A = this chain, B = another copy of it.
Amino acid sequence: MPLSPADDAFADNLAKTLPADTLRRAEPRYLEEPRGHWKGSAGWVALPRSADETARVVRACAEAGVGVVPYGGGTGLVGGQVSPDQPAPLVISLERMTRIRAVSAVENVLTVEAGAILTDVQAAAEEAGRLFPLSLGSEGSARIGGLLATNAGGVNTLRYGNARDLVLGLEAVLPDGTLWHGLKRLRKDNTGYDLRHLLMGAEGTLGLITAASLKLFPRPGATGVTILSVAGPQAALDLLSMARGQLGEQISAFELIHRMGFDFLAETMPEVRQPWPEPPEWAVLIEIGLGAGQDPDTALETLFGEALEAGLVDDGMVAQSEQQAADFWACREQIPEANRHIGAISSHDIAVPLNALPEFIARGGPALAELGDFRINCFGHVGDGNLHYNVFPPKGRKASEFREQREAIKTCVHDVVHALEGSVSAEHGIGRLKVGDLERYGDPAKLAAMRAIKVALDPAGIMNPGAVLRG
């Protein structure tokens, strides 16, 4: 059965069952996404103040066959937060549900409503003397619900895992409007199918997360940062192995940066302080966090020395101050902004098995060169095998001139990734952007199982219609 629109009549009826000002006409910001590929179809937005109100809203949508688009911080990069298709869905934003319900340093657990912004959660953990390690570029506006629904990644996954690995329990509204009370604070609980992990990564298509209990960690006693120029991707991998041998699990981040990133920064953001006057072809940025009483600088100097001797590294610096550490990090973290200034034709958030990483880089360039004279900016979380592999026009040309080649470029990159047993969406998810990729590269048995689960839990197809799976 086709969905019904969230029209004025529906909104008027629903409003009667809710406190005043819970429903509003959707302002433009609820209908936009950062890359500007889609525009949501205009309708209404619900701004509930509690899980119960959220459940009531979803139940009304289920009864009326009205689509629901769960809206977090709106920072997603694959269009999961806007539905451009008619009939207009009801947007549900949990921006009024931002309460930290509890923090326990003994349990190492923080319980929070889904609308809380990531930096606020990090700050609440820090106040309790603990670390909530999820960290990524959009942390100042991304909300926990969306971060969990999309299983966000970021810079600390090498050490602490992806968003899904940081969750002990969830509270969520299921597609029929029932509220699942799953806010457990247990490290071990083998009582039935794991709904948590099913909702995380489902991008709002199987339910709407209203709260979560999150794992906290000890704060590393001392952190150290180094930036090193490496001979190439294979040397970066060998350096990672060497670092792991010396430092075990205490490596918090291991990032790869290609010269193109430094060049883009110099061209578009000269205010970013760069470590080298003439950037190397490849660099890695490493952050470690050690226990109290240990000295990270000595550990990094030791690593640097042995890597020099082994010929993996030919130059580098260990940050001598917090300012210098921040400067090194800025080079990595400002690359996406520099990319936006340059303007990419096509951006790819991919992962390959670690051993295949040098081959991916070796094959990607020549494969793209057959399509044209492009610039490639390749950077990312090499410790996780996760690269942001972005394709730009030649200097002096604009991305818009190459619009008709975008699809071919994307297919070219994703075909290489797929041949190497990689993932065409490492961090960002499927959303609406990669529905076709999932169909092209996904395992057929998995896709069939996904469709069966979607129909079973959401028979009317109201939850985030058109995201992840074709409606």
Contacts and interface: CB of A to CB of B under 8 A. Distances in A.
Interface string A169-180: 000001000111
Interface string A198-224: 101110001000000000011011000
Given A162-B188, A192-B438, A353-B109, A178 B468 contact: no
A351 B385 contact: no
A11 B447 CA distance: 31
Nearest to A384: B187
Contacts of A385: 186-188
Interface string A122-142: 000000000000000000000
B217 A445 contact: no
Given A193-B206, A194-B197, 10 more contacts: A153-B188, A186-B352, A190-B425, A191-B423, A191-B430, A192-B430, A192-B468, A193-B202, A193-B453, A246-B292
Interface in A141-194: 150-151, 153, 157-158, 161-162, 164-165, 174, 178-182, 184-194
A26 interface: no
A178 B448 contact: yes
Contact of A192 (B182, B220, B427, B446): B446
A247 interface: yes
A371 interface: no
Interface stretch (A86-94, A100-108, A259-267, A314-322): A100-108
A395 B191 CA distance: 33
A230 to B, nearest CB: 15
Contacts of A158: 187
Interface stretch (A16-24, A60-68, A237-245, A327-335): A237-245
B194 A426 contact: no
Nearest to A109: B353
B187 A193 contact: no
B106 A241 contact: yes
Interface residues of A, number: 96
Given A191-B430, A430-B192, A184 B421 contact: yes
A272 interface: no
A105 B443 CA distance: 27
A452 interface: yes
Contacts of A237: 106
Interface of A: 104-109, 150-151, 153, 157-158, 161-162, 164-165, 174, 178-182, 184-198, 200-202, 206, 217-218, 220-221, 237, 240-241, 244-250, 291-292, 294, 351-355, 381, 383-386, 421-430, 434, 437-438, 441-450, 452-453, 455-457, 468
Contact of A450 (B192, B438, B442): B192
A326 to B, nearest CB: 23
B188 A423 contact: yes
A245 B157 CA distance: 22
B445 A180 contact: yes
B193 A353 contact: no
B202 A354 contact: no
Contact of A190 (B189, B381, B427): B427
A194 B201 contact: yes
Given A180-B449, A188-B153, A456-B452, A165 B162 contact: no
